Amino acid sequence: MENNIVISAQDLSKVYRRGSEEVRAVDGISFEAFAGEMVAITGPSGSGKTTLLNLLGCLDNPTSGTLSAGGREVFGGGRAPGERELTLLRRELFGYVFQKFYLIPTLTVEENIMLPGAFYEAPGAKAALDVMRLLGIERRYRHLPGELSGGEMQRVAIARALINSPKVVLADEPTGSLDSRRAGEINEILRSLTRQGITVVMVTHNLELAGRADRRLEIRDGKIHAA
Amino acid sequence: MNIYSIAYKNLLRKKTRTALTAGGIMLSTWVLATLLGFNRGYQQGLNRDIDNMGFQVLLTAKGCPYEAATLMLKGGTGLRYMPENVVSTVYKNPEVEKVTPMLMQGVFDPNKGENGAVAAYLGVDAATFPGMKPYLEFKQGGWFTDNKAYEAVLGYEAAELETREVGDKMLIPGVDREIKVVGVLKRSGTQDDGTIFLPIEAVQKLFGKQGKLTGLGIKVKKDADLDAFENKLYDLPDVQVVSMAQVKTTIMNLVNSARVIVMGIAGIALIIAMAGVINTILMSVMERYAEIGIIKSMGALPLDVFKMIWVETAILCGLGGAAGIGLAFLTARLAEAAVRYFLPYAPNGALVALDGGITAFSFALILCGGLLSGIYPAWRAARVRPLEAIRSEGE
Ligand SMILES: Nc1ncnc2c1ncn2[C@@H]1O[C@H](COP(=O)(O)OP(=O)(O)O)[C@@H](O)[C@H]1O
Ligand SMILES: [Mg+2]
């Protein structure tokens, strides 16, 4: 099992300062995610789910604790990598999916998916077609995001996250703005990724969907309440 | 997918804003190119006009020399007269290669135009004048050979205006005398185009100006000391020395001082256009914080984002600049008409001379200004943290 650990966090904390007040958004969380598993993070609003997910995805720097990703120590022992190192790490390891999709409205579905290719050597049209087929949006490839339904937009966003063949997909309330049928579909898609060995860490409010994950992590006040 | 098409498509997102900004750049490029073109065209035209006079020094009767020169150039009237014997006095100087006497006469013609107009006749010496203007070519006929003959040679435009051809007769108003057209000149692009040339003695006789001249054109020998010669001429009584070199400098100085002001305006236009670019691109960056954050979370480095925004600025300025250059070419004739209206004297020919150098310089200047303006917004965009996209999500 040891070898299959993709993300490992030890005593991870993130403290925000609001004036003299300290907010311990993430408070000493230790957590490991294995290859090909789906972990659901739940908890009340403001409990620190998003902050934790951002820390795991190396989008944010922890205040303390250590974080290893893809077998390498990223944060820890006073080490804080530079922006370039973090960017390269994100290219290699992570795909991100957000509640609000964040597609670029001026680009077509295909162009949105192939966006990383504008900045570095990334998989091209063939790979884009493969992920579009996987997500059932290949017929929409010439459409602009504005012409799609919410469910379709989230599929495009997932396709964009997958184009780089990430090891981990981090999804922050990916079904939050969808109706329950679409939410179920998106959840199924994310679930199916685990069969290719991709680790999916998903924040959700939907307890039913969380129940379909391999593991559930409940957060309260920045701490793991129940696993 | 490349950053050029992303940048280009982003500019199309807010079409009106993009168009307005590009319009500002277009206008400042237009002003710049037109002014530079005008500067060149005016100078070239002035040089051509003055060189084509065939003489370097003009003697006129006492009066304001520049007024006289301007009148000469414009083919005007109201000149004073000097005695014919200056010709021989001047000719005695060893520096002189050729002299040609001239008598300008204006006649009010009540039948011309709506309220009548002045017709100008230039009496020239059949023996010496054609030799001073070897570049004048005839469309029809040729020079008169007898200084007493009632014959005329018409400049190209004068012939069109009077609708006369060789062999036609034309009436000189006021003196009721018919003269015969013996030659029509080809277009020369100089003030000669609008002139009606008559033999000098005929003009003297027709208008009762026997023994009088309005001007004496002097061609100086190539190796002669022009300054020393001019100084000698100053000693002649009742005579003004108009050095064409000085006229050129004086007119250029006048035009240059006006140009400094106009260049200042062009500079301000450029700064305003640049402020517009900064504003537009910065706004577009602010509106796209989330998108830029996402792009960075997907693996774009700060330099990539900087380039993307910079390319956007370059496209905006490039399009605006190109449009401005195009506009300058399209409106060159119009700008010329305006300049002719406002300036007391403007040379013949193209006043706004746009060429590759001016075009390239104006375009490069605008592009540099634009790229400079793009640095700050691009830097702001490059600094966006991927997290900011997610933070703006809210719960
Ligand atoms: N950038 C920030 N600055 C200050 N406080 C923050 C910031 N981001 C989040 N917080 C605080 O941290 C806590 C956890 O927030 P978050 O991780 O967004 O919770 P969740 O996603 O579970 O709703 C909240 O109290 C929130 O107000
Ligand atoms: Mg959240």
Closest to B247 (Cα-Cα) out of B47, B113, B1:
B47
The CA dihedral of B334, B326, B329, B262, to the nearest 10 degrees, is 70
Query: Is A187 inside any structural domain?
Result: yes
Distance CA A40, CA B264 (A): 65
What sign does the dihedral A131-A137-A139-A143 (CA atoms) show? negative
Residue A93 · residue A71 · CB < 8 Å: no
Minimal Cα distance from A173: which residue of B?
Answer: B395
Q: Is the pLDDT at B299 greater than 80, yes or no?
A: yes
Number of domains present in the structure of chain A: 1
In this prediction, residue B191 carries a pLDDT of 76
- Full residue range of the structural domain in which residue A53 is found: 36-61+81-226
Mean pLDDT score of chain B, rounded to an integer?
85
Distance CA B206, CA B204 (A): 6
Q: Which phi and psi (to 5°) does residue A63 adopt?
A: -75, -40
pLDDT digits (tens, 9 = 90+) for A164-182: 999 999 999 999 889 999 9
Element (H, E) at B241: strand B239-243
In a domain, A8, yes or no: no
Nearest-by-Cβ selection for A83 from B10, B293, B302: B302
B187-234 pLDDT, tens digit per residue, is 877 778 888 999 999 999 998 889 988 888 898 887 888 888 888 888
Place B382 in a pLDDT band, splitting at 50, 70 and 90: very high
Q: The domain that contains A174 carries what CATH number?
A: 3.40.50.300
Can you give the C-alpha Rg of chain A in angstroms?
17
DSSP state of A79: B
- pLDDT of residue A2 exceeding 70: no
* Parallel, antiparallel or unpaired: strands A38-42 and A215-220: parallel
Residues with CB under 5 A from ligand 2 (ion): A 50
Report, as an integer, the average pLDDT of B236-249: 81
- Residue A200, in any domain of the structure: yes
Establish if A173 belongs to a structural domain.
Answer: yes
Tokens of B124: 């020239």
Residue A68 lies in a domain: no
CA–CA gap between residue B14 and residue B9 (Å, rounded): 10
What is the enclosing helix (H) or strand (E) of B25? helix B15-51
- B198 CB-side CA count, 13 A: 28
Residue B289, pLDDT above cutoff 60: yes
Inspect the interface and report whether the beta carbons of A120 and B299 lie closer than 8 Å: yes
pLDDT for the residue B395: 37
Q: Considering the entire predicted model, what is its pTM?
A: 0.76
Residues 6+ apart with CB under 8 A from B88: none
Residue of A59, A90, A164, A165 to mutate when probing chain B, most B C-beta within 10 A: A59
Query: Could you tell me which of A53, A54, A86 has the C-alpha nearest to residue A72?
Result: A86
The mean pLDDT of B100-126, rounded to a whole number, is 81
Residue-level pLDDT at B73: 53
Is beta strand B215-220 parallel, antiparallel or unpaired with respect to A168-172?
unpaired
Tell me the average pLDDT across A12-41.
94
| Residue A9 is assigned to a structural domain of this protein | no
Tens digit of pLDDT for each residue in B3-52?
899 999 999 999 999 999 999 999 999 999 988 888 888 888 888 777 77
What is the per-residue pLDDT for A225?
87
Ranking A135-144, B81-90, B151-160, B313-322 by mean pLDDT, the lowest is: B81-90
Chain A residues closer than 8 Å to B285 by CB: none
ipTM rounded to 2 decimals: 0.90
pLDDT at site B235: 83
Q: Which residues line ligand 1 (CB under 6 A)?
A: A 16, 18, 23, 25, 43, 45-51; B 391, 395
Q: Write the CB contacts of A219 (distance below 8 Å, at least 6 apart in sequence).
A: A29, A41, A42, A43, A47, A48, A49, A52, A225
User: Residue B128 pLDDT > 50, yes or no?
Assistant: yes
